[in-house]
Amino acid sequence: MGHETEKRRLPVLPGIIREATTTAETSRLIGSRCTSCGRTFFPWQPVCRVCMRDGTMEETALSTRGKIDTFAVVHVAPLGFKAPYI
């Protein structure tokens, strides 16, 4: 006799993701784009890390495809989390 595992939603920090509100939409990560040099960052940045200009960042929904530049494996988890996780 099999039983279906219930999907559990984990909390997400505010400002990280724009949730889809209809089935026609796709949830997207929220980043920022510099209107001066055109670079895009995740997570959202208040100041451009490339040209260092203040007041040039605008919120942008990121693509559903991308390239991972770096990641971390956490071996010592905070209370309520199981280690290791990426």
**pTM across the whole model:** 0.58
- The per-residue pLDDT for range 23-73, each reduced to its tens digit, is 888 888 889 999 999 999 988 889 999 999 889 999 998 888 877 788 778
Judging by beta carbons within 10 Å of its beta carbon (0-12, 13-18, 19+), is residue 14 exposed, middle or buried?
exposed
Q: Which residues contact 31 (CB under 8 A, 6 or more apart)?
A: 40, 41, 42, 43, 44, 59, 60, 61, 62
